[in-house]
Amino acid sequence: MEGIGFQNGQIPKGIRMMEWIVRNCRKSDSLAVRGPATLLFPDAFFETFYSMPEFGAGSMKRPLFSLSFDCDFRADNEALPQLIEVLSSYEVKCDFAAIGKWVEEYPRAYSKVLDSGHDLINHTYTHPNNEELSPGRYFKDLSTQEKREEIVKCHEAVRKELGYEMKGYRTPHFGVQWTHDVYGILEGIGYKFSSSVIASKAEKFVPYWVGQIIEFPVSICPKHPFSTFDSYHVVRAGKHTAEEFLGIFRLMMEKCKKESLFVNLYFDPQDVASLREFGHMLEALHESKVEMLRLGQVAGRLGEFLG
């Protein structure tokens, strides 16, 4: 906490208490813990978490932003052409988490994703648990061999349909389905990175190494610190209005730039392809002048960003 400017070098008790709460409660799945934190002091939780050096505060040499899209459902795949047009109009390049079975069904849409300068990351072959593709089958409950088969089969489907070799991965419904054994699987097939952990539950909120794999934590919502700042909880779950969604995005961009943070967001194509505020978000990103890179680009240049 050096450099904050507290009188006599003393940290106020309230801040020390919030640090204790963040340090000891951030990984909790208990509603008794998450509920009060979300209702009573979400802003304080967010601000404190992103100010603690033990979780990465002060370790980025300059601000960095990454945006990805999870193409989980048929509606997401059908929204891809419109989304690609929106992104192209703002000259924005992103990552798309692709499910092997959908790539086989929508090869032309994913060819357009690649032709437009975006990257694909592995999102398994059937996305357990996905009610359209793999209902009642949970990724976290699969054996390590079954998880490997899901990941490898997706990789092979993308290579066969598109001639593209993926190097990154995202766990299906990673907030509740992530398991540590995926890192060994990814190392074994030659992958470079993962983006599968919510920042509040990750080792850090900046990129960090797990063996030979770089983990890129997904940023949390300032108003819901145990959830990611994603489009689902705005558009379909209704936790924010579209205007609030835009406002929070601008707040995150300002904080990213001011404090040299790593902000890593993901949205769903069906939610944002026709959302007016999404275009305003891309304008706000441009105005912020925060550097935006795809995750594979960051993985290849990580030393430029981490102190």
Instruction: Count the neighbouring beta carbons within 10 Å of the beta carbon of residue 38.
Output: 17
Q: Where are the domains of the chain?
A: 63-304
Contact between residue 202 and residue 284 where contact means Cβ atoms under 8 Å apart: no
Both tokens assigned to 281: 């978000």
Residue 220 pairs in a beta bridge with 228
Its pTM surpasses 0.75: yes
Q: What does the pLDDT read at residue 98? A: 98
Give the model's pLDDT for residue 102: 98
- Low-confidence stretches of the chain (pLDDT beneath 70): 1-15
Give the chain's end-to-end CA distance (angstroms, integer).
Answer: 17
Residue 10 tokens read as: 């003393």
CATH number of 63-304: 3.20.20.370
Q: Look at residues 197, 272, 276 and name the one whose alpha carbon lies nearest to residue 232.
A: 272
**Amino acid 16: pLDDT:** 78
